[in-house]
Amino acid sequence: MKLLAIVESIGLGHATRTYEALKEFKKKGYAITAIANNSAAAFFRNNGINVIDIPLSIDLAKKDDGKLDVGKTLLENIRIRNIAALGKIRSMIKREKPNVILIDASIIGAMASTIAKTENIAVVFISNDNT
């Protein structure tokens, strides 16, 4: 069984909480690969996780009341580098054919989950933004 983790790489919060879940999947015999970059990629490598380094750069747009503005966030993050990252993730999903994709990432993760669904791959989505 294969698991692909797509992890936001802003600091280590996403990486550390995802790693706890990955340890449990590893105990069950899953072969694990993480898509991350920056300090998150280094964290996973230092903990024995195979890493594919793909920049997952997003900027969150907030409303006047401080809540996440999903529409504006989507529009502001349609950039060449994000489209390129999504293309790389799509290719990897098709090539590796994971059984499960664990996502702890915002916009890119949501887009990747759509790709996973078209490939009939189970998706686990971790989120800390419930606004």
pLDDT of residue 9: 73
- DSSP for 58-74, please give it: ----B-TTSSB-HHHHH
Whether domain 2-125 has CATH 1.10.357.10 = no
73 or 114: whose pLDDT is higher?
114
Domain ranges in the chain? 2-125
Task: Give the pTM.
Answer: 0.79
Residue 65 has pLDDT above 90, yes or no: yes
Tokens of 69: 């503005």
Instruction: Give me 93's structure tokens.
Output: 């999903």
